[in-house]
């Protein structure tokens, strides 16, 4: 993949960092985006980018094209959590609700951010003769999850956009796929209550949480020529976890 450029969003830590490193190992020039400080893998570039801001994304894309000459892979990995029940009812009264801020923050990053980054990158992929877009969905985007109305809505929406774009962009030789991780050992997942994490492992047939590298490997495969006839797919990387197990 020497000479090819891959953008990875949310690349300062967790799955994004592991993915940036994996793509660098595969020979890509990796452009790492994040709102937090981070370090790119060897030979790469780090840019402070807010995926919820069209201006920030457009400026970063322009800089990337100017430096590298094109964009061949986009990994839309950036994501946040703001968990809470839609309505928590206790002792005959409403104890708490999911606020507008909780809902909107997650939708802005996890769903609209994917839209904003893809919209900015696609014209350059078309001009370059094709490319690969990889979107971060989630196991919960397929099956739902207690206390995550906002996150599930965003991740299910990502699957929908993936399928639309696979149809729209195939004629330009742009493949679009999603990866649906299960419970992966990242700082974001560790924010969840310990009881829920233990239950997640107990309901995973392989008996463990995944590692960021497990997801990075899936992205690397979907970006490779070995996956040249795969588009519009959702690849689960979840240790076999399914709803109700």
Taking the C-alpha atoms of residue 7 and residue 9, their distance in angstroms, rounded to an integer, is 7
CB 169 within 8 A of CB 132: no
CB half-sphere exposure, 40, CA atoms < 13 A? 19
- 219 part of the active site: no
CA angle centred on 171, ends 165 and 175, rounded to 5°:
50
Q: Burial, 25: exposed, middle or buried (Cβ in 10 Å; 0-12, 13-18, 19+)?
A: middle
Our measurement of the distance from residue 156's CA atom to the centroid of its chain's CA atoms, rounded to an integer in Å, reads 12
How many CB atoms are located within 10 Å of the residue 193 CB?
10
Q: Burial, 67: exposed, middle or buried (Cβ in 10 Å; 0-12, 13-18, 19+)?
A: exposed
Q: Which residue in the list 28, 143, 151, 172 is annotated as catalytic?
A: 151
Taking the C-alpha atoms of residue 84 and residue 93, their distance in angstroms, rounded to an integer, is 17
DSSP annotation of 241: -
Catalytic residues: 151
């Amino acid at each position: 993949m020497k000479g090819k450029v891959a953008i990875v969003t949310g690349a300062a830590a967790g799955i994004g960092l592991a993915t940036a490193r994996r793509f660098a190992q595969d020979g890509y020039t990796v452009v790492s985006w994040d709102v937090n400080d981070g370090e790119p893998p060897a030979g790469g570039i780090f840019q402070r980018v807010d995926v919820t801001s069209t201006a920030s994304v457009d400026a970063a894309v322009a800089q990337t094209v100017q430096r590298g000459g094109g964009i061949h892979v986009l990994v839309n990995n950036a994501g946040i959590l703001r968990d809470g029940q839609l309505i928590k009812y206790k002792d005959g009264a409403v104890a708490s609700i999911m606020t507008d801020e909780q809902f909107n923050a997650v939708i802005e990053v996890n769903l609209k951010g994917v839209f904003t980054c893809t919209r900015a990158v696609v014209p350059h992929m078309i001009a370059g003769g094709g490319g690969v877009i990889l979107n971060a969905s989630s196991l919960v985007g397929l099956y739902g999850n207690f206390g995550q109305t906002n996150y599930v809505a965003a991740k299910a929406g990502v699957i929908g956009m993936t399928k639309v774009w696979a149809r729209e962009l195939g004629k330009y030789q742009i493949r679009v796929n999603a990866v649906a991780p299960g419970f992966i050992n990242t700082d974001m997942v560790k924010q969840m209550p310990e009881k829920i994490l233990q239950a997640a492992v107990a309901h995973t047939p392989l008996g463990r949480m995944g590692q960021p590298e497990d997801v990075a490997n899936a992205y690397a495969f979907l970006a490779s020529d070995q996956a040249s006839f795969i588009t519009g797919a959702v690849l689960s990387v979840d240790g076999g976890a399914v709803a109700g197990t």
